[in-house]
Amino acid sequence: MNYKTLLLILSLFIFSACNQDIHKKETINIIYGQKYKNIGFALVYNNKLKKEKKISKKIDNKALVIFHKNLNKNSFVKITNPLNQKTIIAKVISNNVKFSDFYNSVISLRIAEELSLNLKEPYIELVLISQNSTFIAKKAKTFDEEKNVAEKAPVDGIKIDNLGSSNVEKKQTNIVNFLYSIKIADFYYKDSAKNMIDRINKETNLKNSIIKKLSNTKYRVLLGPFNDIKKLEESFNEIKSLNFENLEILKNV
């Protein structure tokens, strides 16, 4: 084998290795860019939770911050109260805090008050803001300033305009009735949804799973409904044992 042939083979090998490396990076970027959304109950922090060891770390109740188990530290989320559509932006300050899997996050009291959440049923929608969003850079610069202002003010005295509104009501929303279901997953085929219900019946003690047809190509498996938060939490923890990635809690479905 002459020198030119050997050099050509070596060049092709290096080029192929570089291509494989590029593809790996592209795959990682695609996974990182997936948008996270969850709707369910938040845990509103108070010092009693820490004393009773229901949470492993304190949170600043005057700040627009949350704990989350899966989202990256220093990422930003949009939190919405589905009952009144009030929205606020908060920062994830830790993802290694221990608290019940039933809650999709731990939020500060300030967030709960700004959204007019019912503290007995703190129901929220949480959406990760894309890292590519121009909002992130702007928010990151002003976040520390907002935090300093919040630390100097009592929780009840903090007011933030939501969606451009000049008047922010601090009154909590009263929920007339408690009726929630656990969303297991959506399926393209009805047979796939039936197979999921069979699995739930065989591997758990839960017998109240149903299929809801959303369209000819979308079938949703739900657990419930529940009219008691304790039963809802018990069922949530049991179904969690089947290792579903992103269970959601839906109201009045």
Same domain, 153 and 228: no
Same domain, 106 and 56: yes
Question: 223 pairs with which residues across the strands?
Answer: 182, 209
The answer to whether the predicted template modeling score (pTM) of the entire model surpasses 0.85 is no
Same domain, 120 and 194: no
Task: Let me know if residue 23 belongs to a domain.
Answer: no
Same domain, 103 and 192: no
Q: How far apart are CA 94 and CA 87, in angstroms?
A: 21
Question: 221 pairs with which residues across the strands?
Answer: 185, 211
What is the per-residue pLDDT across 6-34, written as a single tens digit (0 to 9) for each?
555 555 555 454 444 433 333 322 223 35
Task: Let me know if residue 7 belongs to a domain.
Answer: no
The domain total for the chain is 2
Q: How far apart are CA 72 and CA 32, in angstroms?
A: 10
**Mean pLDDT computed over 210-221:** 93
Task: Let me know if residue 61 belongs to a domain.
Answer: yes
Same domain, 129 and 223: no
Same domain, 145 and 83: yes
Q: Which structural domain range is residue 233 located in? A: 180-251
What is the per-residue pLDDT across 133-176, written as a single tens digit (0 to 9) for each?
544 445 544 455 555 544 454 444 433 334 333 343 444 444 45
Q: What is the predicted pLDDT for the residue at 142? A: 46
Task: Let me know if residue 174 belongs to a domain.
Answer: no
